[in-house]
Structure 1
Amino acid sequence: MAYRYLFGPVCSRRLGVSLGIDLVPLKTCTFNCIYCECGRTTRLIGERHEYVPTGQVIAEVDEYLARAPDLDYVTFAGSGEPTLHSGIGEIISFIKDRYPRYRVAVLTNGALLGDPDVRAALMRADLVVPSLDAVSEEIFQEINRPCPGITAGEVVEGLTTFAREFTGEIWLEVFIVPGQNDTEEEILRLKSVIAAIGPDHVQVNTLDRPGAEIWVRPASSLALERIASTLGGSTEVIGEACSSQALPQKAAEVTDLLLATIRRRPCTINDLISTLGLRPAEISKCLRVLEAEGRIESVRERRGIFYRAV
């Protein structure tokens, strides 16, 4: 079965084997981050809607989880901001009621956590992974380029309130952009705010594939370790993706899986091998066919050749 709203499972650097749920159209988001691996936001919006049919998402989730797959998480993520979808709480509740064995994670930029309805919708999740890249307003605006009206102060206040109410785990991500938010002053400001929020873990991340703006470059490993040390506590640098065992797949299934992954973010062959658990020869053959058909294109970056959807 080809799914419209599910993708993967992928082997995530943070979450292990994860089935993804994508609730909004491509690049529908509250932010237009300069580093976003999905590219520039095409629909910058702060209003919540039922962007895709809640019932259809639930039907796909039900069909997939009924097979009892071996997963570490069912994760709301994808190519936009999942909390923009007004039915996310209903979908989370369905999973927890019908398939309580599965842990639910939500990856969010945190922009809407000041909204009581959004906080209520996420209460049954097991893990929420919000981001906070800057607390200084100027730096926040430069990096995250939010929907008009969203400020750094509001994001921090929403995160703080959510952390006080939420009974699950919170892993806070800080994405480092050299020359933007890596100064000692900004890191110390972040440290103070993070202490007030009180997340269970803090994860320091940087560019791993092409970002929205071509001039954005990754921070060095040494810089990331220094920042993690300054932030202290349970801060860690996000590591490599886990490795998953190669599973036999039909050719059509491989094509669908590759396209679903590449549509959401550019990938190298090694990315696809590590995240999808497919054999290298299988992936290479499929990529050649897709590129010849004009369905994907390749671009050389510092980390290698990336494939992205056309």
Structure 2
Amino acid sequence: MGYQYIYGPVNSRRLGLSLGVDLLGAKVCSFNCVYCERGRTDQLTVERKEYVAYKEVTNELKDFLAAGPKLNYISFSGCGEPLLHKYFGRISAYLKENFPRYKQALLTNSSLITAEIMPELKNLDLIVPSLDAVSENTFKKINRPHKTVEIDKIITNIAKAKKELKAKMWLEIFLLPGINDHQEELELFKKAVQTIKADKIQLNSLDRPGAENWLEKMSKDRLREIADFLGDNVEIVAGY
């Protein structure tokens, strides 16, 4: 069987052997991040739809997982924001009911972690939300979000998810020199980290060419300085 919506398994630096699930099939996202290795967003939206057929996704998962492959995680990631798929919760529940041995991870830009959607995350074992800025200006410069998305609400909702959901949380901060590493922004990051209380803070930087060619990768020494500043449970995941 040829697969359209699942890929891998791939060896991930953070997740180990991971089977990826793409619920969008195209570059659809609520952000248009300058560093995205998938390039610029084709459809900037917060509208939840059945971008790819729910039944086709679950059929592919059923076919692949029936043989009982060894996996560390089934990860929802793909080309854009996974939570834009309106049946995300159903697909996650299908895996929990039919293949409970596999852990589920969500890689998300955090924009759709809202009170309405949060119940759909109850079957996840790991949530990896992104937080690339805390000030509004820096947020707009890096993530170039849909006009309805506000950074203050994102931080509040990530903290609420950490408090109310059973899943572990690894908060990813993507750092770009000269953009979100100035002292004022770092102070705001530190305050946000203390509010969210994630299990881990993971610092990342440019590994492959992003959507914009003017970006630079942050040095490992600078990442270490920022890790020390932010406090405990901070690790560097950027590849060097």
Q: 1:97 deviation in Å?
A: 1.1
The equivalent of 2:135 in structure 1 is 136
TM-score by length of 1: 0.76
The equivalent of 2:160 in structure 1 is 161
One-letter identity of the residue aligned with 2:188: R
Alpha-carbon distance between aligned partners in 1 of 2:67 and 2:231, rounded to the nearest angstrom: 42
Q: 1:117 deviation in Å?
A: 2.9
The equivalent of 1:24 in structure 2 is 24
Deviations 1:137-165 (CA, angstroms, capped at 9, x unpaired): 00001000000121111111211221121
Report if aligned partners of 2:5, 2:25 keep a CA contact under 8 Å in 1. Answer: no
Secondary structure of residue in 2 paired with 1:19: strand
Alpha-carbon distance between aligned partners in 2 of 1:123 and 1:180, rounded to the nearest angstrom: 35
The equivalent of 1:5 in structure 2 is 5
Alpha-carbon distance between aligned partners in 1 of 2:70 and 2:238, rounded to the nearest angstrom: 22
Q: 1:207 deviation in Å?
A: 0.4
TM-score by length of 2: 0.97
Alpha-carbon distance between aligned partners in 1 of 2:153 and 2:48, rounded to the nearest angstrom: 17
Instruction: State yes or no: 1:45 paired with 2:45.
Output: yes
Q: Name the structure with the higher helix share.
A: 1
Alpha-carbon distance between aligned partners in 1 of 2:53 and 2:143, rounded to the nearest angstrom: 28
Alpha-carbon distance between aligned partners in 2 of 1:181 and 1:23, rounded to the nearest angstrom: 30
CA RMSD of aligned residues (A): 1.1
Q: How does 1:159-308 map to 2 (within 5 A)?
A: 159-238=158-237, 240=239
The equivalent of 1:275 in structure 2 is none
Q: 1:45 deviation in Å?
A: 0.1
Q: 1:4 deviation in Å?
A: 0.7
The equivalent of 1:124 in structure 2 is 123
One-letter identity of the residue aligned with 2:28: T
The equivalent of 1:249 in structure 2 is none
Deviations 1:17-67 (CA, angstroms, capped at 9, x unpaired): 000000013210000000001100010001111111111100100110111
Secondary structure of residue in 1 paired with 2:49: coil
Alpha-carbon distance between aligned partners in 2 of 1:214 and 1:154, rounded to the nearest angstrom: 30
Alpha-carbon distance between aligned partners in 2 of 1:78 and 1:229, rounded to the nearest angstrom: 31
One-letter identity of the residue aligned with 1:226: E
Instruction: State yes or no: 1:98 paired with 2:72.
Output: no
Alpha-carbon distance between aligned partners in 2 of 1:157 and 1:195, rounded to the nearest angstrom: 12
- The unaligned stretches of length 5 or more in structure 2 are none
Alpha-carbon distance between aligned partners in 2 of 1:51 and 1:153, rounded to the nearest angstrom: 28
Q: 1:35 to 1:170 in 2, by over 3 A?
A: same
Alpha-carbon distance between aligned partners in 1 of 2:122 and 2:182, rounded to the nearest angstrom: 35
Alpha-carbon distance between aligned partners in 2 of 1:184 and 1:33, rounded to the nearest angstrom: 22
Larger radius of gyration: 1
Secondary structure of residue in 1 paired with 2:10: strand
Secondary structure of residue in 2 paired with 1:38: coil
Alpha-carbon distance between aligned partners in 2 of 1:183 and 1:14, rounded to the nearest angstrom: 27
Report if aligned partners of 2:207, 2:238 keep a CA contact under 8 Å in 1. Answer: no
Aligned residues between the structures? 240
Alpha-carbon distance between aligned partners in 2 of 1:38 and 1:4, rounded to the nearest angstrom: 17
- The unaligned stretches of length 5 or more in structure 1 are 241-302, 304-310
Q: 1:184 deviation in Å?
A: 1.7
One-letter identity of the residue aligned with 1:200: D
Alpha-carbon distance between aligned partners in 2 of 1:138 and 1:185, rounded to the nearest angstrom: 12
Instruction: Give the percent of matched residue pairs that are identical in Structure 1 and Structure 2.
Output: 44
